Amino acid sequence: MLNIEKPIRMCISCRERFSKRNLLRLQCIDKKLMIYDGIGRSFYVCEDCCDDTKRVINSIYRQCKNKADYKEQFKEMVRIWKTK
Ligand SMILES: [Zn+2]
């Protein structure tokens, strides 16, 4: 049974569903990856995929609709997220 009190979102990489609080929410603006600030389009990455940049990078390219250099940016986002 899906608990409707917990918002469930899908990871863009493994496409599994998780509670929102276990997902890193990002957005891509002008080829910059950043933590979602509440405005515009966003996407989610689960904790497992956060540890595997190679796996998630193609999904990020797809979300951002280009292939800018997101690898380092992504790692930085994960680092920020995990230290919170
Ligand atoms: Zn995932």
For the chain, the domain total comes to 1
Q: 38: burial class by Cβ within 10 Å (0-12, 13-18, 19+)? A: exposed
In this prediction, residue 5 carries a pLDDT of 72
Ion ligand 1, residue ranges at CB < 5 A? 11, 13-14, 46, 49
Q: Which domain holds residue 17?
A: 8-83
pTM (2 decimals)? 0.90
Residue 3 included in any domain: no
Are the beta carbons of 62 and 13 closer than 8 angstroms? no
Residue 2 included in any domain: no
In this prediction, residue 50 carries a pLDDT of 97
47: CA distance to ligand 1 center in Å? Answer: 7
- pLDDT by residue for the chain (84 residues), tens digit each? 565 678 899 999 999 999 999 999 999 999 999 999 999 999 999 999 999 999 999 999 999 999 999 999 999 999 999 997
In this prediction, residue 46 carries a pLDDT of 98
Residue 76, domain CATH:
3.30.1230.10
